Every structure is written in C-alpha cells, then in structure tokens.
C-alpha cells in the first residue's frame, strides 16, 4: 500500500474544488446568509460528488462513465435549468433577518447538502477531468488494486473538504460586516453569476 496516493488524491481534490464556479459562489452566498455550517455542508455536497466521480475514474468503472457521458445532454439540461432557476430565485430573494445561532436546521442542512451534490453531478465530463489529472500525477496507476484506489478517492474527498472548510471559514469572518442592504447586493450579484453559469450550461448543449 502506497500512502502517497492519499496525498495525490488530496492534491486532486484541491485542484478540482478550488476554481470558483457556480458552486463556489453558491457556498459563499449561503455562508454569508445562513452561516458557516450551512456553507460548509454545501461544500461537503460538492466534495461528495467529486469523490463519486473520483471513485468512477479511480476504479476504472468505464461502463458507468460511458453511460453518464452518453446521457450528458439530458443531465446537463436538467442541471442548467436548475441553475437558471436557482440564479433567478437568488437574484430576487430578500435577505432574511439573521441571529447569532442562524446556522440552519437539520432540514436546511440536508437541502444544502443534497442540492450541491446533485448540481455537481450534472457535469459528467468531470470524469474526464479526473482521469486526466490522475494520469498527470501518476495516480491512475492503481494496477487494479482496490485498496489503493480507495485511498486515492478518500484523498480526493479530504482535499475537496479542506478547500470548502477554508472557504466557508474565511468567508464567515466577514459575515457580521454585511448588513441587510449589503446582503441584497450579495443576492443580486450571486444570482446573476449563478444564472450566467446556468445559461452557459444550456448554451453548451448545442455543442453536444
């Protein structure tokens, strides 16, 4: 067992999670609005989806990746529509009054987790990104060793979680500096960005 695969996986998880996209904007907005816990749980949903795709790539489950890639038009269509809906909803939403303990109930935490998990899964081409990065770092050579592949996927998850923990914790430091008027602008800007990502996803369907 080569423990270096754990660190390679963590590097992969960080490199996949760090670029700020629609999920990053969503987690930042949720952290500012609902608190660090909600932001972190949203990030955990993304990390779980990253680990899911890492699992498919790391275990060489080509039949699953081929199935997802063959259906990516419908998957992206659903994801794009939901991002557009989420963007419009965020754009038009009014910030709620916050309290010191406003970190969301169990239902809000579950919704935060599931929504980001499913949205991240709507980009099946992420499998190709994982496969390319695995090969570039020499992480693809698990030689059919399921234990090594498992360590690799755990590393991907931990690396992604580390990024979302850093992001939500950092953003939460500025949370108390945002009043209701500022949060209105955060909602508007976040909504426009998320809406833009949704429209780009729908436009990309014409290339498939």
DSSP string covering 154-190, please? HHHHHHHHHHHHHHHHHHHTTGGG--HHHHHHHHHHH
128 or 156, higher pLDDT: 156
Please report the pLDDT score of residue 135 as a whole number.
Answer: 65
Region of 35 (left: φ > 0; alpha: ψ -120 to 50; beta: rest) is: left
Closest to 35 measured CA to CA, from 169, 203, 197: 169
Please report the pLDDT score of residue 171 as a whole number.
Answer: 92
Please report the pLDDT score of residue 98 as a whole number.
Answer: 55
Closest to 92 measured CA to CA, from 21, 192, 196, 199: 192
> What phi, psi does 197 have (nearest 5°)?
-65, -40
Residue 20 pLDDT greater than 60, yes or no: yes
CA dist 153 and 62 (Å) reads: 16
> To the nearest whole percent, how much of the chain has pLDDT over 70?
83
Please report the pLDDT score of residue 1 as a whole number.
Answer: 54
Question: Structure tokens of 124?
Answer: 């099946």
In this structure, of 67-71, 116-120, 174-178, the range with the lowest mean pLDDT score is: 67-71
Please report the pLDDT score of residue 201 as a whole number.
Answer: 83
User: Are 178 and 70 in contact, with CB atoms under 8 Å apart?
Assistant: no
Which ranges of the chain does DSSP label H, i.e. alpha helix?
A: 4-17, 22-34, 36-58, 62-70, 72-92, 106-121, 126-136, 146-172, 180-204
- What's the pLDDT band for 126 if we cut at 50, 70, 90? confident
Residues 194-204 have a mean pLDDT of 88
* pTM across the whole model: 0.81
Residue 138 pLDDT greater than 60, yes or no: no
> What phi, psi does 147 have (nearest 5°)?
-65, -45
CA dist 46 and 94 (Å) reads: 25
What does the buried/exposed string (b/e) look like for 153-169 if buried means 16 or more CB atoms within 10 Å of the residue's CB?
Answer: bbbbbbbbbbbbbebbe
- What's the pLDDT band for 12 if we cut at 50, 70, 90? confident
């Amino acid at each position: 067992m080569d423990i270096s695969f754990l660190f390679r996986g963590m590097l992969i998880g960080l490199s996949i999670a760090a670029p700020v996209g629609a999920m990053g904007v969503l987690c930042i907005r949720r952290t500012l609005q609902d608190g660090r816990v909600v932001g972190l749980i949203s990030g955990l949903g993304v990390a779980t989806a990253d680990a899911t795709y890492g699992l498919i790539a790391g275990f060489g489950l080509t039949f699953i990746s081929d199935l997802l890639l063959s259906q990516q038009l419908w998957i992206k269509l659903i994801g794009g529509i939901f991002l557009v809906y989420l963007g419009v909803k965020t754009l038009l939403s009014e910030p709620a009054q916050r309290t010191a303990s406003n970190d969301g109930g169990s239902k809000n935490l579950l919704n935060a987790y599931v929504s980001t998990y499913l949205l991240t899964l709507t980009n099946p081409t992420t499998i190709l990104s994982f496969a390319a990065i695995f090969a570039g770092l020499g992480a693809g050579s698990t030689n059919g060793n399921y234990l090594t592949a498992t360590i690799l996927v755990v590393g991907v998850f931990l690396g992604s979680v580390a990024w979302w923990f850093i992001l939500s914790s950092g953003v939460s430091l500025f949370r108390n500096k945002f009043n209701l008027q500022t949060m209105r602008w955060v909602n508007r800007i976040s909504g426009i960005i998320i809406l833009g990502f949704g429209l780009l996803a729908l436009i990309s369907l014409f290339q498939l």
